[in-house]
Amino acid sequence: MDIKKLDNMQDLVSLCKRRGFIFQSSEIYGGLGSCWDYGPLGVELKNNIKDSWWKAMTYREEVEGVDASILMHPQVWKASGHVDGFSDPLVDCKECKSRFRADKIDLDAPCPSCKAEDSFTEPRDFNLMFETTMGPVKDSGSTVYLRPETAQGIFTNFLNVQSTMRKKLPFGIAQIGKAFRNEITPGNFIFRTREFEQMEMQYFIKPGTQDEAMKKWKEIRWQWHLDQGLDEDKLRWHDHGSELAHYADAAFDIEYHFPIGWDEMEGIHSRTDFDLGRHAEHSGKNLNYVDQADGNKKYIPYVLETSVGCDRHLLAILCNAYRVENPETKEERVVMGFKPKMAPIKVAIMPLMKKPELETHARSILEDLQKNYKCEYDVAGSIGKRYRRQDEIGTPYCITVDYDTLEDNAVTVRDRDSMAQERVKISEIRQYILNKFGF
């Protein structure tokens, strides 16, 4: 069979809109740059991703979860280095006023937008944090920031979690939540946006054990992406080598081969005692850990961080799942080949025709299955068209109730990938689906 995989983002953007995965934010007002809304299928997919990450990371003895607030004390961002250092160099074109990241373009070349020569301003630093004000009086004392990463809400809760949960090193704290960055050049659909969601874990360790922790989490995180259904040949490691952020002593990224090329999806960084050390200094609080296993030695733990963008991983899942079978022929079929646990709709239930005797059976199957699975009930249009729609949204199984059902109390179950059809007794359908999914 001839199979075409995704080779351009536009095909995916239009499928996502057409089928209810992702819409432009505020579309009826013409949209808002680089902000996106997840539709009914997109939010299911996103929840499946978050659920999978949460279970993989926190359903283990050594990791606890938190959900910190987005707005934090402004001193947090001073201590973390974001107020002074979280900026990109920015240039403007004096002719067309377009803005660019100075480190992403050739400053000696003409403007990429209007082709004017020698038109760039001098590079200046542009802080990526969104500012807002807290309380009724707008003055400099009321400035707060929308968090640019979830990690700081973990560092500031280090002692709370350690003491309430009686944790010994090594242990981790995990969090999923929104982050905001006023990116100069967002784009490529949901790849780089100004509002996005992160899934981060800080693993607190004894200084000197960072290599061991790095090895362990590199393996766990790589395997997670495979378990999510991403193809291994579309994943690779990028070692930052000596080009490290000021807080890190080692850093690796997991990159995915998007239609726009290889790019970062997750970072696994050894952050030393930088963050806790800075918070201890700026808050005046003692953030030492007392190591009972080592003669009550007191020290600030080191941190190994895993940080993956939920939206960016979701984009990889979409890109990876997309395939067109037999393109440009009568048998053309667009399929989103999600793993069942990622599929937004697990089972579609379809009476062959809109007839009460068929619908009674179909609805009772729906009511039974949707206690555990997100299902779709579809009675509109030809059965072939209904199957195609389910293929395009990645539904693993379709159940059809036909006139034979009235005689044999069985239904036809169609497999998305093989299109094979099997007759299954209604009384056995729940167990059949459970066996197929394993959940």
The residues that touch ligand GAP, with contacts defined as CB under 6 A, are 149, 151, 181, 183, 192-193, 196, 198, 200, 264-267, 305, 307-309, 311-312
Cβ(390)–Cβ(416) under 8 Å?
yes
Question: Closest approach of Cβ 198 to ligand GAP, in Å?
Answer: 5
Nearer to ligand GAP among residue 217 and residue 373 (C-beta): 217
The CA distance from 332 to 39, in Å, is 26
Question: Closest approach of Cβ 271 to ligand GAP, in Å?
Answer: 8
The CA distance from 227 to 199, in Å, is 17
Nearest position to ligand GAP, beta carbon: 309
- What number of CA atoms fall less than 13 Å from residue 216's CA on the CB side? 14
Q: Report angle CA 427, 428, 434 to the nearest 5 degrees.
A: 135
Cβ(71)–Cβ(152) under 8 Å?
no
Rounded to a whole number of angstroms, the distance between the first and last alpha carbons of the chain is: 31
Nearer to ligand GAP among residue 183 and residue 368 (C-beta): 183
Question: Closest approach of Cβ 309 to ligand GAP, in Å?
Answer: 2
Nearer to ligand GAP among residue 167 and residue 271 (C-beta): 271
- Is the Cα dihedral 198, 199, 205, 209 positive or negative? negative
Nearer to ligand GAP among residue 198 and residue 228 (C-beta): 198
Question: Closest approach of Cβ 133 to ligand GAP, in Å?
Answer: 23
Nearer to ligand GAP among residue 81 and residue 110 (C-beta): 81
Question: Closest approach of Cβ 200 to ligand GAP, in Å?
Answer: 6
Nearer to ligand GAP among residue 11 and residue 264 (C-beta): 264
Nearer to ligand GAP among residue 255 and residue 391 (C-beta): 255
Nearer to ligand GAP among residue 64 and residue 149 (C-beta): 149
CA-to-CA dists, residue 22 to 30, 43, 178, 235, angstroms: 15, 9, 17, 24
Nearer to ligand GAP among residue 156 and residue 412 (C-beta): 156
Question: Closest approach of Cβ 27 to ligand GAP, in Å?
Answer: 20
Nearer to ligand GAP among residue 128 and residue 324 (C-beta): 128
Question: Closest approach of Cβ 192 to ligand GAP, in Å?
Answer: 4
300: which strand partners? none
Question: Closest approach of Cβ 337 to ligand GAP, in Å?
Answer: 23
